[in-house]
Chain A
Amino acid sequence: MRYSIPIFWRNKYSYYRLELTKCKKCGKVAFFRRSICPYCRSREVEVITSKGIGKVVTYTVSYFRGSTNLESYPRIIALIELSEGVKVIGELSDVKLEDIKEGMEVEAVLRRYSSDDPYGLIYYGIKFIPRVKK
C-alpha cells in the first residue's frame, strides 16, 4: 500500500470540488480549503466552491516522469485564472498538444490524479478540460 488513506480522504472535498478559501478580514481568496489565510494569517475564513470555469494563463507540457502511471505522460500543467478572480495550478486533460492556447476557456472536471496500481487506492480530483459547448 503506497498511498495513504487519510492524507487524501480528509481533503476529499477540496480534491473532488474546486474549493477556495475566502478571508473575511483581508478579502483575498486562495486556492484550496484552508483554516488560515495565507495572506494575512487571519483564522476568520470561509470555504467556498468555485463555479469551475476559468482561463488558461500559461501552461507547460511536462515530460518529468515519476515511476508510476506512465500512461499519463506528458502531463499538461497550467496556471488557470478562475472566473472568481483567483489563480489555481492544475492539470489539463482532453487536449491534443497543438490545441492548447493561452487564454482558452476551461472547466473543472473530476478525473483520476493517479492510482497505486494494481491493488491500491485511486486518487480522484479536479482537472481542467476545454469548456464543453452547450
Chain B
Amino acid sequence: MVTLFELREGVGIVGWGVYIPIWRVRAVEIAKMWGFSEELTRSLWIEEKAVASEDEDTVTMGWYAAKVAIERGGIDPNHIGAIFVGTESKPYAVKPSATIIADALMDSNIKSASDIEFACRAGGEGIRNSIALVASGMTKYALVIGSDTAQANPGDVLELTASSGAAAYVIGPAQESVAVFEGSTVYVTDTPDFWRRDGSPYPQHGEIFTGEPAYFHHIVSAAKLLFKELGLKPSDFDYAVFHQPNGKFPLQVGRMLGFPKEKILPGIVTPWIGNTYNGSSLIGLAKVLEEAKPGSRILVVTFGSGAGSDAFSIIVKEGIEERVKRGPKVIDFLKRKKYVSYGEYAKNRRIITRIR
C-alpha cells in the first residue's frame, strides 16, 4: 500500500538548469542508414536528436546543468547537503558521478552523494528524496541531476530517438523557491519493458510491451493517484509535462488523462533533441518553468522502465521571471545546434568500436 505524501508548503525549486550538446543528427539519416522508411520518423514525431561530443558524458553534461541551476538559484553551493545523479549511462559502473560533479562545483565535503538508477525516472526519484531531505530539515538545499548519454542498439528503432542531455534542480525551502511542490506521488511495479544487462553496451526492450503495460499504465496510475490525493483534475493544471521517449507518446498519454494538446506542447522537446532518458521530463519541466506565469500549476509525470512513475504538482510563484533570466534557457540550447553525419555521430558515441 503506497502512502501518499502531501506537502503543506515547505519545499520547492530554487534554481534549475539544462545542458544539451550542440551536435545534432537528423532522424531520417538514421532511418536511411538502417533501412527504416522515412514515415517512421514522422509517426514517432522525431526530427533530430542531440549527440554528445566524444569528450562529453553524463558527468560533463550534468556538471553544466548543475552549474546553471546553482547560478540561477543564486545559492552558495556549499550549502548543498545532498547531490543525486539520476542516470543509466554512468561513466563508471562503480564510482559515483555525483562526487566528481560535486568536487568540481563545491568545496564542502559534508554531503550526501550518490548515483541513482531507475532507468529514465532516476532523476524523479532524486527529486522525491530531495523533497524529503529538505522538508525534514536534514539539508538546506539538495541538488538533483538527471543526465544521460542514452544508448540504443544500432539499427533498432530506439536509435532514432536515444540522445544526450541533462537537467539539474536545486531543491530548497519554499521561501527561497520560485516554484513549490504542492504534492507528489509515486507508482512502481516490476515490469520488465526495457533493460540493460550488466556489461551490455545497449539495452533490450519489448517494443509494443513498452507501451500500454509500461509507459501508459504507470504514468496514468501515478497521475490519477495525484489527482485523487490533491482533489485536482486536468482542468486545474495549466501545463502537463510527461516523460517523452518520442513526440507522440506524451500527447497520447495526456489525451488519455484528459489534457488538451495546448497544455502538453510547451513541455515537449524530444522531437528536436531526442530522448535524453533522465533529462527527458526534467528538460520539459525546465522549458515550462521558463515560460510559465506566477500562479500556474504544472503537472510533471516521469516514467522509468522497470517500471515506475513519479507525479508532481508544482505551483509557480512570483519572482520566477527574474530567476529565468539568470542563465541560459532550454530554448537557447534548442537554438544552439550544428549537424553531424551518421558516421560522426557513430564515432562520437563510440558505436564504432576500436581495440587498444
Contact = CB atoms under 8 A, between A and B. Distances in A.
Contact of B57 (A16, A70, A112): A112
A34 interface: no
Interface in A85-134: 93-94, 96, 99, 109-113, 117-118, 122, 124, 127, 129, 132-134
Contact of A72 (B54, B103, B328): B54
Chain A residues touching B, range: 20 to 34
Given A112-B54, A124-B100, 8 more contacts: A17-B104, A71-B348, A93-B53, A94-B23, A111-B55, A111-B56, A112-B56, A132-B328
Given A16-B103, A110-B63, A127-B55, A133 B336 contact: yes
A63 B333 CA distance: 30
A133 to B, nearest CB: 6
B8 interface: no
A118 B201 CA distance: 12
Nearest to B356: A117
A83 to B, nearest CB: 16
B356 A68 contact: yes
A129 B54 CA distance: 14
Contacts of A124: 59-60, 100, 104
B347 interface: yes
A16 B328 contact: no
Chain B residues touching A, range: 20 to 34
A79 B345 CA distance: 28
Interface of A: 12-13, 16-17, 68-72, 93-94, 96, 99, 109-113, 117-118, 122, 124, 127, 129, 132-134
B328 A70 contact: no
B332 interface: yes
Contact of A112 (B60, B92, B347): B60
A33 B55 CA distance: 24
Given A112-B56, A132-B336, A133-B332, A13 B103 contact: yes
Interface in B89-111: 91-92, 100, 103-104
Interface in B205-260: none
16 contacts: A16-B100, A16-B104, A70-B354, A71-B54, A71-B350, A72-B54, A93-B53, A94-B21, A109-B63, A110-B104, A112-B54, A112-B55, A112-B57, A127-B55, A132-B336, A134-B332
Main secondary structure of the interface of B (DSSP, over half): loop
B64 A96 contact: no
A8 to B, nearest CB: 12
A111 B53 CA distance: 9
A70 B63 CA distance: 24
Contacts of A70: 354
Main secondary structure of the interface of A (DSSP, over half): mixed
Given A72-B54, A134-B327, A111 B60 contact: yes
Nearest to A129: B22
Interface in B326-349: 327-329, 332-333, 335-336, 338, 347-348
A113 B56 CA distance: 10
Contacts of A112: 54-57, 60
A119 to B, nearest CB: 10
A69 B22 CA distance: 21
